[in-house]
Amino acid sequence: MRAWLRTLSAALALAGCVGEPPAPTAPDAAPDAALDEIADAAPDAPGDAASARDGGSLLVRATCAAGAAPGPSPLRRLTHAEYDRTVRDLLGTAQRPASAFDPQLREGTLDTDVSNLTVSPSLLARYLDAADALAVEATANAAAVTRLMGCDPAMGVEAACVDQFVAAFATRAYRRPPSADERVALRARFDAGRAAGGNVASGARAVVRAAVSSPLFLYRIEVGDGRPAGGRARLTPWEVATRLSYLARGTMPDAALFDAASRNLLATPAERAAQVRRLLRAADMTAPHPDARDVVRRFHAQWWGLGPLDAMIERPDGQRDAARYPEFNADLARSMREETLRFGDALVFEAGRVSDLLGASYSFLDARTARLYGIAGAFDGTFRRVTLPAAQRAGLLTHASLLTVNAGGAVASPIKRGVFVLDRVLCAPPQPVPGGVNNVPPAPDTTRSNRARFAAHTQDSYCASCHARIDPLGFTFEHYDAIGRWQSVENGAPIDARGGAEVDGVALAVDDAVGFAARAAASNQVRDCAVQWWFRHASGRAPTEADACALAAMRGALTATDRHFEAMLVALVSADDFVTRAAAN
Amino acid sequence: MAPRTLSRRDILRGLGGAAIALPWLDAMGCKVDAPAPYDATVTPDAIPAEGPDATLADAAYDAAQADAARMRDGVGPRRLLVVTVPNGTIPSQWFPTGGETDFALSPILQPLAAHRNDLIIFKGIDNTVTPHGHFEAMCSMLTGFPQFGDREQEFLGASISLDQRIAQMQIARPDAPRFGSLVLGTNGAQSGVGVVSYRSAGNVVPKIQRASQLFEQLFPVDARAAARRRATQQSLLDSARDDYNRLRMALGAADQAALEGYLDAIRELERQLAASATALTCDPGVPAFGTGQNDGRHLPEITRDHIDALVLALRCDLTRVATFVTRSEGATSSYTFGWLGIGPSGDPYGIDSTDDATSTSHHSMSHNDATPRNVDYLTRVGRYFTTQLAYLIQKLKDTPDGPGGRSLFDSTTILYCSPIARGAHDTRDLPWLLAGSCGGAFRTGRYLTYEHASHLDLLASLQQAMGVPDERFGALDHCNGPLARLRA
């Protein structure tokens, strides 16, 4: 890290990685000393913690060693989306309390990342307010109370009904049967509420309020079965059910999963595989389950960095140069996003293969996107699967959504596009932009190509240390303008989209992005990177070497004959790591 | 001393621990000949065990005593405000000319002319912890440590920030205000480039983004609803704490550590609830805050609303520490300054997502800070922000504090700061200033030049003025202790 900082601080003496050669800008800097320091720092950059930034790979290369302890299982709070779905399923409410919570998703991260799951006093206050509003609604009238409690306390022995309600409700709220102490505590809440309000509804309200604001509800607590062995603690069946349910549906276990947990069926990989297949689908077992689809879409939108598109949909004016892109508006941006999310649905729910990620010859278009892509045919407001023009489009990378997000308002950005592919598809991100560098490109001009604007990147050796990897990859997208339209001519000259990248350790030279996609689609690197993003989504953290076994299982599933993303998820839940955690946690 | 009557303000002052309030009330005109002795029963040991560490508790007690002694002279308790502005400045238009006391204000500082003698303008203050970058500097600016996280997008502050460190001590005081601090922002990300305040590593303090929300939090309109909410929250906190205590036994060390933030939130909320149970004796009036969506289109109104609400909070002594992030740092939004004539024509609050040299977005202009157009635009932007600072200063000066004819400003210092220095996005020669003496802690009316002093030295001075006992702040190898020549 220090070497990295040193390298970057040295860069203070340099400026202007665009357009013109760098010149010293800080009058009191000592350029010579700074350059010496670069030379100094260079050799020790690889190998330390900063190596990933220096164009290194984030891919975990360790091999699976039998008996090794699994990676850490950080304690996870429900995400805001999970919170909303969970209270919906627990209480049948139509309230969406999390819309009032502080947003916590940071740009470039996944909302399931444990680093996004902190609790501030203001969020805690919102949780308490939400618990109160939910409890009030759930006990609004006699019928609601009876439905909530599952028995009518007026129709027999009240105490028995209350005890049964407390046990059943806590089991669902805590996603496991409550301990005796916990039952006593909730029973005391009931009694206090009943005494204060003078009726059963007040008692039930106090129980709901307390349970929904408990850390046992807000966090996915895992304590294991209390018999750790070989550095591993085995999860209880309830904890396994919870992992399965939040992975597949982003909510609490349903009745069937609770039932499987209570009968201790989830210990076998086969049963877990069957459960995850079931959870992904609606009751007819063909269409995706709406919650599963929402979870997948949210993940894809974050992995693929579609966040800026939401801002464009919310406020399209000013996002694109109106003279160049008069057709750009919120509707078009929405259609772009839908194309990509629909494509992601197909990957997971329609037997998509990992090679489709970059190599798919199909996509899903409506009238707006079809027009943008220059595809004739009868399109309307609905999306249908179409075969793409093979010379112009292939897989995810040529989606208008990504091409738009990774562009400026007037012209495309080969830099953003190159960085996107390196970071999100190849798991080999470049190091962050150093200080002292003007990374705002010069204005587009009509006398030269967009590509030529970035010549300084490769002329200057300092800039080239990063841009030698970024730019050639980004240039392969030169055929697509700032809203993802195909163009063959720029400023009267034919477009030069030649470029390349290193994939699987081999330098590829390609004619354009479609060529790159064709060469990289079936690579191990793209597969392994996709696996790691999915692992991170499922685990709340980036993978480490300790996760080699789970990763190997997931990779294996994508390499086997069916090569489906669903098979990868099945492999993930089948792995022993899915039902254990490090004993030291 | 001439006998004086007790104002409502003084009664409010008595909200805190009676032991500390006594000397203040005494000095404020209760007819007592000699200062009453401090209540011997209030000792550091009597401070609840769940508060911060013992050293801080001791210091909190000492700070309260020191404030009480100053109150006898009519000066209110010391207050610190941090106001951050994004994307650096144009150095040639920012730094004054002339010497320490005979300096002349620059174009960007001109809006502060009426307050010239209340300023300390710095030259030669560097953030050496992270020498460049929006994310990096936002993370290190008030924490004093390099960012946390191992990918560019995941950067977070790696330690407690200065405002929260002081807030910790504020709430440990026997005369604790209701809020240890207030953290405000106009809009934008609740992390990364949008915030500077952290309770601990990775634990962001979210910004309150609407003045109306802030006002409701400070001064609930419906007292019955507020009382019911308070009672409900208190009861739920009790049960959450019980659950936590039962759970804790079953958890390993890592999980327990993960729940620390949750436990901390329980404690803080409990403290706020207890403090808010005391009736307000200060009448905030019914300010008319804008109700517009806080989407970045209404920055000028929202900024004024925030300042107005903040001054009300100070006037009613609900807090003595506040941080105001006027706008997010860096390129995460493409905002312009339409109301200054900068940005797309016809749209006073437009954005410009052009990411090249023609762009009028704040971030892009800051990179291209050498063109005459951008020097002009960025100077206007700089003046816009210093105009807001002048408004805040004037508002504090216009607000009486205590019966001695003093104003809120007399006990306050405002750290006005940008995470980066200028277009090159480095953090040397930061365009920072202090406004206000913090109750006589600093000698103002000066332009102080240093040979590359660490910004942490300045932060150490601020925490010292606010009574935090530590000699240094942040990364110890970057901080040499309080900044020289600052004290009165």
Q: What is the CATH number of the domain that holds B318?
A: 3.40.720.10
Which chain A residues in 296-335 lie under 8 Å from chain B, judged by CB atoms? Answer: 315, 317-321
What is the full DSSP assignment across A386-430?
A: EEPPTTT--TGGG-HHHHHHTB-SSSB-HHHHHHHIIIIISS-PP
The residue of B147, B179, B232 whose CB has the most chain A CBs within 10 angstroms, and thus the best one to mutate to test that interface, is: B232
Residue A412 falls inside a structural domain: no
Range of the domain at A114: 76-220
Q: How far apart are CA B481 and CA A101, in angstroms?
A: 39
3-state secondary structure of B426: strand
Residue B264 tokens, joined: 């901390």
Distance from CA of A409 to the nearest CA of B (A): 4
Which chain A residues in 398-417 lie under 8 Å from chain B, judged by CB atoms? Answer: 408-411, 413
Compute CA distances A107 → B156, B188, B189, B237, B331, whole Å: 12, 11, 8, 32, 12
Q: Which residue has the tokens 């204005």?
A: A443
- Report the predicted TM-score, pTM, of the whole model to 2 decimal places: 0.86
Which residue in A has a C-alpha nearest to residue B179's C-alpha?
Answer: A121
Q: Is B69 exposed, middle or buried (0-12, 13-18, 19+ CB in 10 A)?
A: middle
B185 neighbourhood in chain A, CB within 8 Å:
none
Interchain CB contact of A506 with B (< 8 Å) = no
The reply to whether residue A26 touches residue B424, judged by beta carbons under 8 angstroms, is yes
Residues 6+ away with beta carbon under 8 Å from B46: none
Measure CB to CB from residue A438 to each of B149, B264, B367 and give the nearest one.
B367
Q: How many Å separate Cα A308 from the centre of its chain? A: 14
pLDDT 10s digits, B375-404: 999 999 999 999 999 999 999 999 999 888
- pLDDT confidence of residue B48: 34
The angle formed by the CA atoms of residues A74, A78 and A80, to the nearest 5 degrees, is 135
Count contacts between A and B (CB, < 8 Å): 217
**Four-point Cα dihedral A501, A505, A509, A512, nearest 10:** -40
Residue A549 tokens, joined: 């076994």
Same domain, B320 and B199: yes
The reply to whether residue A75 touches residue B154, judged by beta carbons under 8 angstroms, is no
- pLDDT confidence of residue A362: 97
B204 neighbourhood in chain A, CB within 8 Å:
118, 120
Q: Which residue has the tokens 């669903």?
A: A566
For chain A, the residue count is 585
The reply to whether residue B132 touches residue A8, judged by beta carbons under 8 angstroms, is yes
Distance from CA of B367 to the nearest CA of A (A): 6
Q: How far apart are CA A384 and CA A363, in angstroms?
A: 8
Q: How far apart are CA A554 and CA A535, in angstroms?
A: 9
The reply to whether residue A440 touches residue B368, judged by beta carbons under 8 angstroms, is yes
Distance from CA of A7 to the nearest CA of B (A): 11
- pLDDT confidence of residue A28: 38
Distance from CA of B229 to the nearest CA of A (A): 8
The interface predicted TM-score of the complex, written ipTM, equals: 0.85
The residue of A1, A75, A406 whose CB has the most chain B CBs within 10 angstroms, and thus the best one to mutate to test that interface, is: A75
Measure CB to CB from residue A410 to each of B146, B239, B354 and give the nearest one.
B354
Q: Which of B307, B280, B295, B279 is nearest to B391 (CA)?
A: B307
Residue A507 falls inside a structural domain: no
The angle formed by the CA atoms of residues A260, A262 and A264, to the nearest 5 degrees, is 70
What is the full DSSP assignment across A349-364?
A: HTT-BTTHHHH-SEEE
For chain B, the residue count is 488
Number of domains in chain A: 1
The residue of B90, B262, B347 whose CB has the most chain A CBs within 10 angstroms, and thus the best one to mutate to test that interface, is: B262
For the beta carbon of residue B45, count every other beta carbon within 10 angstroms: 10
Number of domains in chain B: 2
The reply to whether residue A185 touches residue B233, judged by beta carbons under 8 angstroms, is no
Which residue in A has a C-alpha nearest to residue B353's C-alpha?
Answer: A409
Q: How far apart are CA A377 and CA A369, in angstroms?
A: 12
3-state secondary structure of A192: helix
The reply to whether residue A318 touches residue B347, judged by beta carbons under 8 angstroms, is yes
Residue A24 tokens, joined: 């010293």
Interchain CB contact of A560 with B (< 8 Å) = no
Measure CB to CB from residue A132 to each of B131, B189, B232 and give the nearest one.
B232
The reply to whether residue A115 touches residue B150, judged by beta carbons under 8 angstroms, is no
Q: How far apart are CA B264 and CA A465, in angstroms?
A: 45
Same domain, B320 and B273: no
Q: What are phi and psi of B3, to 5 degrees?
A: -60, 140
Measure CB to CB from residue A438 to each of B259, B272, B368 and give the nearest one.
B368
B368 neighbourhood in chain A, CB within 8 Å:
438, 440
Q: What is the widest separation between alpha-carbon atoms in chain A?
A: 90
Same domain, B451 and B322: yes
A189 neighbourhood in chain B, CB within 8 Å:
239
Residue B40 falls inside a structural domain: no
Same domain, B149 and B106: yes
Residue B247 falls inside a structural domain: yes
Q: How many Å separate Cα B37 from the centre of its chain? A: 33
B364 neighbourhood in chain A, CB within 8 Å:
440
A437 neighbourhood in chain B, CB within 8 Å:
424-425
Q: How far apart are CA B276 and CA B93, in angstroms?
A: 45
pLDDT, one tens digit for every residue, chain A (585 residues): 333 333 333 332 233 454 433 333 333 333 333 333 333 333 332 233 333 334 468 899 899 887 778 888 999 999 999 999 999 999 999 999 999 898 777 777 899 999 889 899 989 999 999 999 999 999 999 999 999 999 888 776 788 999 999 999 999 999 999 999 999 999 999 999 999 999 999 999 999 999 999 999 999 999 998 888 888 899 999 999 999 999 999 999 999 999 999 999 999 999 999 999 999 999 888 899 999 999 999 999 999 999 999 989 988 888 898 889 999 999 999 999 999 999 999 999 998 899 999 999 999 999 999 999 999 999 999 999 999 999 999 999 999 999 999 998 888 899 999 999 999 999 999 887 766 677 777 777 778 888 888 877 777 777 888 888 999 999 999 999 999 999 999 888 999 999 999 999 999 999 999 999 999 999 999 999 999 999 999 999 999 999 999 999 999 998 866 578 999 999 999 999 999 998 766
Long-range (24+ apart) CB contacts under 8 A made by B339-343 are: B339/B299, B339/B300, B340/B377, B340/B380, B340/B381, B340/B384, B341/B380, B342/B377, B342/B380, B342/B381
Distance from CA of A550 to the nearest CA of B (A): 22
B400 bridge partner residues: B407
Measure CB to CB from residue A75 to each of B154, B229, B255 and give the nearest one.
B255
Sheet strands side by side (includes B412-417): B182-185, B321-325, B79-84, B412-417, B433-435, B119-126, B446-454
Distance from CA of B269 to the nearest CA of A (A): 6
Interchain CB contact of A231 with B (< 8 Å) = no
HEC per residue, A435-454: CCCCCCCCCCCCCCCCHHHH
Q: Which residue has the tokens 């307000």?
A: B280
Same domain, B81 and B193: yes
Same domain, B187 and B325: yes
Q: Which of A312, A274, A331 is nearest to A407 (CA)?
A: A312
Measure CB to CB from residue B265 to each of A120, A131, A317 and give the nearest one.
A120
Which residue in A has a C-alpha nearest to residue B124's C-alpha?
Answer: A28
Measure CB to CB from residue B356 to each of A1, A52, A441 and give the nearest one.
A441
- pLDDT confidence of residue B346: 64
Residue B3 falls inside a structural domain: no
3-state secondary structure of B177: coil
Q: Report the interhelical angle of A121-138 vs A142-149 (nearest 10°).
A: 110
Residue B67 tokens, joined: 């404030």
Residue B401 falls inside a structural domain: yes
Q: How far apart are CA B13 and CA B273, in angstroms?
A: 18
Distance from CA of A263 to the nearest CA of B (A): 24
Residue B328 falls inside a structural domain: yes
Q: Which residue has the tokens 């609407």?
A: B210
Same domain, B107 and B128: yes
The reply to whether residue A319 touches residue B351, judged by beta carbons under 8 angstroms, is yes
Interchain CB contact of A78 with B (< 8 Å) = no
Residue A550 falls inside a structural domain: no
Whether the CB-CB separation of A535 and A552 falls below 8 Å is answered with no
Same domain, B104 and B244: no
- pLDDT confidence of residue B295: 57
- pLDDT confidence of residue A88: 98
Of B263, B279, B295, the one marking the end of a domain is B279
Residue A112 tokens, joined: 């399931």
Q: How far apart are CA A478 and CA A469, in angstroms?
A: 16
Measure CB to CB from residue B351 to each of A103, A216, A318 and give the nearest one.
A318
Residue B484 falls inside a structural domain: no
Residue B215 tokens, joined: 């006002």
Residue A108 falls inside a structural domain: yes
- pLDDT confidence of residue B151: 52
Measure CB to CB from residue A107 to each of B192, B250, B356 and give the nearest one.
B192
3-state secondary structure of B400: strand
pLDDT, one tens digit for every residue, chain B (488 residues): 333 333 333 333 333 333 333 333 222 222 222 222 222 222 223 223 344 467 888 889 999 999 999 888 888 999 999 999 999 999 999 999 999 999 999 999 999 999 999 999 999 999 999 888 888 899 999 999 988 765 545 678 889 999 999 999 999 999 899 899 999 998 777 777 789 999 988 888 989 888 777 888 888 778 788 888 889 999 999 999 999 999 888 888 888 888 988 999 999 899 888 887 776 767 777 777 765 555 556 778 888 989 999 999 999 999 999 999 998 887 666 788 888 989 877 666 677 877 788 889 898 899 889 899 999 999 999 999 999 999 999 999 999 998 888 999 999 999 999 999 998 788 999 999 999 999 999 999 999 999 999 999 999 999 999 999 899 999 999 999 999 999 98
B402 bridge partner residues: none
Q: Which of A131, A99, A104 is nearest to A118 (CA)?
A: A104
3-state secondary structure of A503: strand
Interchain CB contact of A106 with B (< 8 Å) = yes
Q: What are phi and psi of B295, to 5 degrees?
A: -110, 15
Distance from CA of A164 to the nearest CA of B (A): 20
Q: How far apart are CA B184 and CA B210, in angstroms?
A: 8
- pLDDT confidence of residue B30: 24
Q: Which residue has the tokens 């206090």?
A: A192
Residue A189 tokens, joined: 């809440």
- pLDDT confidence of residue A51: 33
Q: How many Å separate Cα A261 from the centre of its chain? A: 28
Same domain, B319 and B375: yes
Interchain CB contact of A47 with B (< 8 Å) = no
Distance from CA of B336 to the nearest CA of A (A): 10
Same domain, B152 and B226: no
Cβ-count burial A474-510 (b if 16+ within 10 Å, e if not) = bbbbbbbbbbbbbeeebeeeebbbebbbbbeeeebeb
Whether the CB-CB separation of A476 and A42 falls below 8 Å is answered with no
Q: Which of A223, A210, A100, A60 is nearest to B233 (CA)?
A: A210
Range of the domain at B238: 222-279
Whether the CB-CB separation of B77 and B71 falls below 8 Å is answered with yes
Q: What percent of the residues of chain A are helix, what percent strand, and what percent coil, each to the nearest 5?
A: 55, 5, 40
Residues 6+ away with beta carbon under 8 Å from A485: A372, A373, A374, A400
Same domain, B296 and B245: no
Residue B237 falls inside a structural domain: yes
The reply to whether residue A221 touches residue B152, judged by beta carbons under 8 angstroms, is no
Residue A276 tokens, joined: 């995850």
HEC per residue, B272-333: HHHHHCCCCCCCCCCCCCCCCCCCCCCHHHHHHHHHHHHHHHHHCCCCCEEEEECCCCHHHC
Same domain, B324 and B419: yes
Handedness of CA B457, B458, B459, B465 (dihedral sign): positive
pLDDT 10s digits, A483-525: 999 999 988 899 999 999 999 999 999 999 999 999 999 999 9
3-state secondary structure of B146: coil
The angle formed by the CA atoms of residues B117, B120 and B123, to the nearest 5 degrees, is 135
Q: How far apart are CA A322 and CA A443, in angstroms?
A: 17
C-alpha count within 13 angstroms, C-beta hemisphere, residue A111: 22
The reply to whether residue B243 touches residue A216, judged by beta carbons under 8 angstroms, is yes
The reply to whether residue A441 touches residue B357, judged by beta carbons under 8 angstroms, is yes
- pLDDT confidence of residue B277: 75
Q: How far apart are CA B432 and CA B426, in angstroms?
A: 14
Residue B24 falls inside a structural domain: no
A25 bridge partner residues: none
Measure CB to CB from residue A120 to each of B204, B250, B424 and give the nearest one.
B204
